[in-house]
Amino acid sequence: MPEVSSEFVARMEDVLDVYQQAHDPACPVVTFDEHSAQLVSETRQPIPAQPGQRERVDYEYEREGTANLFEFFQPLAGWRQIKVTTRRTKLDFAHCMKELVDVHFPNAIKIKIVLDNLNTHVVSSLYEAFSPVEALRIARKLEFHYTPKHGSWLNMTEIEFSILSRQALNRRIPDRDTLTRIVNAWQSQRNAAHATIHWHFTPDLARTKLASLYPSI
């Protein structure tokens, strides 16, 4: 349907245009996403690894609930910040935005942030968490760029979470404290190396590769 295609295209090209912008400390580009992590504990003590044999764990385990990960990622600086929380409500989102503005980029004039279009990812969340004066102060520093529906792959933070899952979360993690330690260690290593994502998908390439999504004129 043309209406669906034009909406997808408009948001996709907006995000891709943001990704092409040069590094500007006064107007940084940051991507944001959230990820659920399952907490699982052992029911029996694992058998330690031996020469020529890997650690062995019992197939039984105990579910310990879930935790949420919020991540900010600044690709042009090779920087990321992950926060482990128990929930991902509007209030949690609002406090993440305040932290982004006041802690991570206090000198920025405007922060361009790429994120998906969840019902919590809205300016009104700030007004549910803070006074109107404070909410407006934070909102003035933020410029939201939403990925299209079914287009969350355009958010670079999704790639970051995929790497995190393969490199650090592919084990049984019993509780939130352990998860936080694992995530912080991974984050510190990636930041020290200025690890980043080399994004090559541009609006021009999208118009060729995804031509069928574009409305006919």
Tell me, what CATH number does 104's domain have? 3.30.420.10
- 2 vs 65: which has the higher pLDDT: 65
Residue 125 has pLDDT above 70, yes or no: yes
Q: Is residue 137 part of a domain?
A: yes
Cβ proximity of 110 and 191 under 8 Å: no
Residue 198 has pLDDT above 60, yes or no: yes
Q: Is residue 47 part of a domain?
A: no
Task: Provide the CB-side half-sphere exposure for 68 (13 A, CA).
Answer: 11
Cβ contacts of 145 within 8 Å, gap of 6 or more: 14, 15, 18, 112, 113, 114, 115
Q: What is the pTM of this model?
A: 0.87
Residue 54 has pLDDT above 80, yes or no: no
pLDDT reported for residue 1: 41
In the structure, what pLDDT confidence band is assigned to residue 133 with cuts at 50, 70 and 90?
Answer: very high
Q: Is residue 124 part of a domain?
A: yes
Q: Is residue 128 part of a domain?
A: yes
Q: Is residue 17 part of a domain?
A: yes
In the structure, what pLDDT confidence band is assigned to residue 172 with cuts at 50, 70 and 90?
Answer: confident
Other CB atoms within a 10 A radius of the CB of residue 207 amount to: 13
Q: How many structural domains compose the chain?
A: 1
- 126-154 mean pLDDT: 96
- 198 vs 171: which has the higher pLDDT: 198
Q: Is residue 125 part of a domain?
A: yes
Identify the domain containing residue 184 by its residue range.
2-40+61-191
Q: Is residue 69 part of a domain?
A: yes
Q: Is residue 71 part of a domain?
A: yes
- 175-183 mean pLDDT: 95
